[in-house]
Structure formats: C-alpha cells, structure tokens
Structure 1
Amino acid sequence: MKKKTIFALGGAVAVSAIVVIAVVFSGAYPKKDAAQVRLQPDNLQLVAMGKKIYDANCASCHGRDFKGEANWRERRDDGLLPAPPHDETGHTWHHPDDLLFALTKYGPAKMIGDGYQSAMPGFEKVLTDEEIIASLSYIKSRWPKEIQMRHDQMNKSAAQ
C-alpha cells in the first residue's frame, strides 16, 4: 500500500472515531452547565488567566507546547490513551465549546461511563467554570486563525 493510501485510511479512522465520540457524548452531560459556554480566544485578560491555569493543571500531560504525549492514538500498556495534543494536529478543535467544557469539567471517564478508564481527571472540584473557560480559551488562542475559524463555524452548526 502506498503511503498516501495509508495516510488517508488513518485519517478516515481518526474522523470516524471523532464522530463516534461526538455521538456518545451528545446528551451525556448536564446541558445547563455547558449550554452557554463560548470560548473567548480574543479576550486577552481571560487568555492570560487561562495560560496560568493551563500551565498549572494541563501542561504536565498535554505539554507547554500543546504537543501532548508521544503516540497519543495508541493505548499504553496500562490500557489508557496518552494525552492528546491541543494544537492543530490533535482533535481538540474538532469538538464544540460545550463538549470541550464538559470533558474538562467532568473528565472523559465520567462522560463516557460504562467503566471507561482515562488518565484525565475531571476538574469539577479543582477549577471554577470561569477557570475552565479561561484555560480552553487560552488553548484556542494558540490555534492558527484558519483552525479558529473552522472551530467557530462548527460551534455555529452545533448550536442550530
């Protein structure tokens, strides 16, 4: 198989996984908490606060450079997935604001349920809603403008 074909198949698998995750998560978290969530990557004060929160709570796994852990698509020996990147190479920007908020607040294990295991904790008892929004706004502020625009468009579609 040629490299282009392998890459295309890998991309198709990744997109399929993202669709499955979105379907599984839809309705799996309290909408009242996440319904009004809007990230604000242009709010410099919020982004500055978000950088401090990210550095203290997220960078140890996802990296100060947002690159995540090596081989983040492959389960480790303990069965857990490594932390994904939060830059444009990862899948963070493929999820609408409310889902990113809920994943951060409640953690993947609680959102998926059915005994799903994840190394990522929920930050419900650690960070306020504003701090979660600030950290996510900081992450989004670091994406290329094209990715930010695509994410904004996805949020508009998700709201309809």
Structure 2
Amino acid sequence: MLAVLVTGAYLGAEAAADAESGAMPNNVDIVVGQDLYAETCAACHGANLEGQENWQSPREDGRLPGPPHDETGHTWHHSDQLLFGYTKLGGREVLAAQGMEFDSGMPGFADRLTDQEIWNILGYIKSTWPERIQKMQTERTKDETRSRED
C-alpha cells in the first residue's frame, strides 16, 4: 500500500486545500474509503474495481460504461487532482473546463460526499494497485502539479 495512506482523521479544510494543490492528503482512511466505494461507486465500477463489461465501447446514448479502477483500467493514468475533480464535479463539468463538450456519464458527488470522503475513496482505489503502478501515477501527479506551477 502507499506509504502515505495512513488511517486517521483529516480536517475537511485541509483536504480542500490539498485538492486545490493537486496533492492527496497524507492521512486518508482506506478502510472508510473501501466502505464508501462499496456504497457509492461499486454499482458502476464493480465490487472488485473491475468496471462494467465492454467499458471501452460507447453505449447507444454515447456514454461509456463505468471503467475499471483496478490496474487494468486507465484511472492510474490520471493525476490525483483530476481524479478528485472528476469525482467531485462529474465528468461533464471537468471535461467542459478542458474545452470538451462530452457527457461521460460520471455524475458529480459534491452533494453526497465530503472532500475527505472523496480522498478516502481515491486512497482506497490507489491502495489496490501494484507498487509500480502507484509509482507511475504518483509521478503523473507530480508532473501535473509542476506544470501548473510553471
């Protein structure tokens, strides 16, 4: 598991500040994250993070099925900040901010989850990845953070 994923409490204001900086808080609760994932995410992304069948093929409505969050999917290709924003705001809003008009089907959870709960879920997801994938995703997060600072 990621060394930074330590069970513990984290103040919501600090979690929000970390979300703005692009960094996952040092103290996330992956046990709570696993429970929240089961309650909130598993219906679309699979109980074992396996995603929906044919997740890379658009359905009739143009939306893609829920992708896997395990190492077989593309979640780890994205920075912490993007994953947080996508979860909090939803796919349509995040993509629109990047100049793309597309409804991915991913709803925003800002009205149902606190920032800390979102970080806990993301921490749980990341804790399931093999170490080499965790390292690659950490580097992507660092690269994005550096490019925003430039």
TM-score by length of 1: 0.73
Deviations 1:40-61 (A, max 9, x none): 6x95x61001011100000011
Which of 90, 101, 115 is the equivalent residue of 1:129?
Answer: 115
The match for 1:38 is 23
CA contact (8 A) 2:18 2:24 kept: no
Note if 1:66 corresponds to 2:66. no
User: Is residue 135 of structure 2 the alignment partner of residue 152 of structure 1?
Assistant: no
Count of residue pairs brought into register by the alignment: 128
**Structure 2: any 5+ residue segments left out of the alignment?**
1-15
Task: Give the structure with the higher percent helix.
Answer: 1
> In structure 2, what is the equivalent of residue 76 of structure 1?
59
Runs of 4+ in structure 1 off by over 6 angstroms are none
- Alpha-carbon spacing, 1:155–1:58, altered in 2? closer, same or farther (3 Å): same
**Whole-Å separation in 1 of the counterparts to 2:18 and 2:120:** 15
Residues in 1 aligned to 2:101 and 2:18: alpha-carbon distance in whole angstroms = 23
Which SS does the other structure have where 1:35 is aligned? helix
Q: Deviations over 1:112-160 (max 9, x none)?
A: 2365223221001000000000000000000001100111122222221
Quote the Cα distance in structure 2 between the aligned partners of 1:144 and 1:84: 18
- Contact persistence 1:69–1:84 (CA under 8 A): yes
Structure 1 or 2, whichever has the larger Rg, is 1
The equivalent of 1:116 in structure 2 is 102
The within-5 A match list for 1:17-56 is: 34-39=19-24, 46-56=29-39
Q: Would you say the 8 A contact 1:108–1:122 is kept in 2?
A: yes
Tell me which of 61, 73, 96 is aligned to 2:79. Answer: 96
Under a length normalisation based on structure 2, what TM-score does the superposition of the two structures give?
0.77
Q: Which amino acid aligns with 1:52?
A: D
Distance 1:115 1:149, change over 3 A: closer
Amino acid at match of 1:119: G
Structure 1 residue 35, shift from structure 2 partner: 2.2
Query: Partners of 1:33 and 1:81 in 2: how far apart?
Result: 30
Calculate the aligned-residue CA RMSD, in Å: 2.1
Tell me, what secondary structure is at the counterpart of 2:21? Answer: coil
Q: Tell me how far apart the structure 2 counterparts of residues 122 and 67 of structure 1 sit (CA, whole Å).
A: 21
| Matched-pair contact (CA < 8 Å) for 1:34–1:99 | no
1:5 is aligned to: none
Q: Does the 8 Å CA contact 2:63/2:104 hold for their aligned counterparts?
A: yes
Distance across 2 between alignment mates of 1:33 and 1:103: 15
Does the 8 Å CA contact 1:39/1:134 hold for their aligned counterparts?
no
How far is 1:37 from its partner? 4.3
